[in-house]
Structure 1
Amino acid sequence: THLMKLSDSTKPAIFMDCGIHAREWISTAFCQWFVKEALSTYGSDSQMTSLLDQMDVFVLPVFNIDGYDFTHKSNRMWRKTRSKRSGSSCYGADPNRNFNAGWCTVGASSNPCSDTFCGHQPESEIEVKNVADFIRRNKSILKAYITIHSYSQLLLFPYSYSFSLAADHSELLKVADGASAALRSLYGTRYTSGPGAATIYPAAGGSDDWAYDLGVKYSYTFELRDTGRYGFLLPESQIEPTCEETMLAVKYIAAHVQKNLY
């Protein structure tokens, strides 16, 4: 799995991943767009220049690379990893149910054939283990965790494994609302923001809850376009506008993190 680091020293950092779920193609498109924009606007865009001067940005463009490859070659709607375990005829686990955050308690399945299979144990999936190891290793510098999914037009933050409010709930909500407004300013796309469990559905084992509980305060999940007309099969013509508007929200969050380094 390739991880990109946009910087050249050890500074406070943001970690962003795309493509945890294989069929969410607009997600992986956004990470590529982000890297292109960061590198091409550095020096000309004052906000991006300031961000990259003061912070590191780690970008994992395709989290679930085997699953993503499978959606191109075999089954466009595949969601999980492609791990194989002897004794089961079914492949893969849901990497966003495989983190050690209320693991397999709610909104996840213990059936290996289910789309939301939580895995045989937390971090059983190599992709999850590698990302969790990286975040643990860099915990002291990581200030924000942003994970990009589709679809539903939501901006979520912890918790998803519980209806309890996060300790930083009011600040996380305020930033999410500001980011949603920034996103909407370009094409009028409406996002709903709030804690995962109450805003979409309860689901345990998610990367955002896990990162937050580890101490990464600004932990956000984007559910990009649309709200169901095309779903995972978002047309190519929407890639650019989706990436452009999402960029505004990510930059909004990043600017807040930059001003509020804890």
Structure 2
Amino acid sequence: MCTVVGVSRNCCSEIYNGPSPLSEPEAQAVTDFLSTNRDNILCFLTIHSYGQLILLPYGHPNITAPNQDELMKVGLAAAEAIKAVHGMDYTVGTPPNVLYPNSGSSRDFARLIGIPFSFTFELRDKGQYGFLLPEDQIQPTCEEAYQGALSIITYIHDKTYVRAAATSIAATLWSVVLAVWLSSATV
């Protein structure tokens, strides 16, 4: 059994975990939606501030996602897409490796229930302004986040649908070849 890590019982803390599991209606709504639709969801992205991070599952230091290497590859590609926009560096990894251990994230829950790709974007900045990002940085941050998310979504789309289409095309071609061969063999 895993212990709860990286949360605070102090309601004034930035990492306060609430009075009880799913105590907030928003957390309950996300949990219900993901649970109901998990078989139809390939990717879950949650956007937070701040830290310039792309976090992968899991927040507990003793749990590793079964597709950890692929998540890292996809996350690093997203960080490169983000950097290409305005030169901002985002660090990619699991919370225990790049931030601090934590429990109860929607990112972890999504991966735990079988959604294969799950990431948290911690947007600008790295702590100078914290949660009070200056207005002139909001638009550039949105542009970066868009490109990072697009990178992830494009990877998942291409992996899921392009391969499926290629397999379907190959099967169709082999069927045509077989049909032609059979018809020429019986003539």
TM-score range for the pair, normalised by the shorter chain length: 0.7 to 0.9
Write the distance in 1 (CA, Å) between the matches of 2:95 and 2:60. Answer: 8
Decide which of 142, 146, 159 is 2:45's aligned counterpart.
Answer: 146
Write the distance in 1 (CA, Å) between the matches of 2:104 and 2:2. Answer: 5
Write the distance in 2 (CA, Å) between the matches of 1:229 and 1:115. Answer: 16
Higher helix share: 2
Shift of 1:115: 4.1
Cα RMSD of the aligned pairs, angstroms, is 1.9
Decide which of 136, 144, 165 is 2:35's aligned counterpart.
Answer: 136
Higher relative contact order (CA 8 A, sep 6+): 2
Alignment of 1:1-262 (within 5 A): 105-112=4-11, 114-261=13-160
Q: 1:140 to 1:113 in 2, by over 3 A?
A: same
The structure with the larger Rg is 2
Q: Deviations over 1:90-145 (max 9, x none)?
A: xxxxxxxxxxxx89711112345544332343212211111110111111101100
Write the distance in 1 (CA, Å) between the matches of 2:84 and 2:11. Answer: 42
Q: 1:152 to 1:117 in 2, by over 3 A?
A: closer
Q: 1:128 to 1:189 in 2, by over 3 A?
A: same
Partner of 2:39, secondary structure, is coil
Q: 1:134 to 1:240 in 2, by over 3 A?
A: same
How much identity, in percent, do the aligned residues show? 42
TM-score scaled by length of structure 1: 0.58
Partner of 1:212, secondary structure, is helix
* 2:67 maps to amino acid: D
Write the distance in 1 (CA, Å) between the matches of 2:14 and 2:129. Answer: 20
Write the distance in 2 (CA, Å) between the matches of 1:194 and 1:111. Answer: 27
In structure 2, the gaps of 5 or more residues are 162-187
